[in-house]
Structure 1
């Protein structure tokens, strides 16, 4: 059976999930959070505040919903409530709140207003060592790291993995990877890992580049990335993916079930060998990764631990 490991695609939005998720499963919370969002987008700011007040009486751990409530309060002229919600949003996630404000359409009308200045001042208070120039550079690197990889699954399905079209993508990607790896490794050696307190929501960019580098580079910088995760500068879920990649490239089973392969003859997707397939969901949960079946759904296949074990015994 011929297989190949899929190139890692960073499918998560940098400041949160693109899919609709709620911090509570309580139906009343979900109903009011949805209604608050709709009221904000519809310009019904007093109603928006009422809906969010009801939702937050149940639970208030979502910086997205809290920031939306702050926007409603600002637009309704209720400055004290606005400031309370802004402070709470930045208490929950300063980099996440700034990223949400800069990227979500419902905040477009506020980006050239004093509200934007309030966002920036709170962000700088949370991250006094923030380096905007470096963050901008890492944003460029992230784009070149992901641009061609984002097309690879589509191209492989349409043209085949060994097609001229795929070769063209890889030539472009390899040039980008060579430059990006040199820049990131030099940056880490000079200043340490460029983490959340320095570059905000670009904290995962250096990880992405190391994840796609050669094994000696991955092994060299894995301890640095582990220290960054322990210090809260890099997400543990990102570190887990690099650990899996290093384990596999050394001929060992992956730990967290992040690496997917495809049978070149049948085009069937499956997980590369997992060390403890029957415990995988609890292991993934320790680093903030969701259930493995949700991950498998991205490739439209079902994970069965017993079948997984049987498959890899045959190899």
Structure 2
């Protein structure tokens, strides 16, 4: 399974059912279209998670389902970008907190290059208080890692195989590790250093 496919599977548990808000804004048609994209994203991830539960993450069926999900995400992203070109970024994301959340949801499921392209706009959402700080921290960290730079908030980790075959979750390169928890606190993220093995970037093994 590729890194991109693995990233998709790790996002599934965090997906929550979208809310409908079309009737509350000046452009009901636009809000309804955003609602439908968000709902389809949620439904597809519920479907693929059911596949994983039945067949396992590493099965041939799971690989096929992952490729299907990538195609579905690509269609939704193209639709979102078409809406953005027609209505403009402010209209798409300032229709309310839920609409801004839909934009973020679709972008975090987009290819790495697209996520990087939209980073300034996602940052603007955060600064306008239309995106939770934890979501912005995750988006920024992912963009930094994809550029080969250390992350800021420690939201990105990977499963690695150590010598002698031990598989363990490890924090990806992180800047200013001694003050990591201070930065996480400003983004409303729980402390991380106590979850790691002393003197390492490896997460403690859960009992």
Question: TM-score by structure 1 length?
Answer: 0.50
- Displacement, 1:13? 4.5
Greater Rg, structure 1 or structure 2?
1
1:186 aligned residue (66, 72, 82): 82
- Note the C-alpha offset of 1:246: 1.0
Please name the residue that 2:172 is paired with: 272
Q: CA deviation at 1:261?
A: 1.4
**Conservation of the 8 A alpha-carbon contact between 2:100 and 2:125:** no
The residue that corresponds to 2:153 in the other structure is 256
Q: Is the Cα–Cα contact under 8 Å of residues 152 and 169 in structure 1 kept in the other structure?
A: no
How big is the shift at 1:247? 0.8
Structure 1 residue runs of 4 or more that deviate by more than 6 Å after TM superposition: none
Q: How does 1:16-165 map to 2 (within 5 A)?
A: 129-149=25-45, 151=48, 155=52, 159-161=56-58, 163-165=59-61
Unaligned runs of 5+ residues in structure 1 are 16-98, 103-119, 295-301, 310-315
1:269 Cα deviation (Å)? Answer: 2.6
CA deviations 1:14-61 (Å, max 9, x no partner) are 79xxxxxxxxxxxxxxxxxxxxxxxxxxxxxxxxxxxxxxxxxxxxxx
Residues 159 and 199 of structure 1: CA distance in aligned 2, closer, same or farther (over 3 Å): same
2:67 is matched with 171
1:306 matched to 2:199: yes
Q: Quick one: distance in 1 between partners of 2:197 and 2:51?
A: 26
Helix, strand or coil for the counterpart of 2:118? Answer: helix
Equivalenced residue count is: 192
Report the RMSD for the aligned CA atoms in angstroms: 3.7
Change in CA separation of 1:203 and 1:254 when aligned onto 2, cut-off 3 Å: same
Query: Whose relative contact order is higher, 1 or 2, with alpha carbons under 8 Å and at least 6 apart?
Result: 1
TM-score by length of 2: 0.72
Maintained 8 Å contact 1:211/1:218: yes
Q: Determine the structure 2 residue equivalent to 1:224.
A: 121
Q: 1:288 to 1:177 in 2, by over 3 A?
A: same
* Contact kept in structure 2, 1:6 and 1:262, CA below 8 Å: no
Structure 2 partner of 1:6? 7
CA shift in 2, pair 1:280/1:171, >3 Å? same
Q: Secondary structure at the match of 2:149?
A: coil
Do the aligned residues in 2 keep the contact of 1:14 with 1:201 (CA within 8 Å)? no
**8 A contact 2:112–2:143 mirrored in 1:** yes
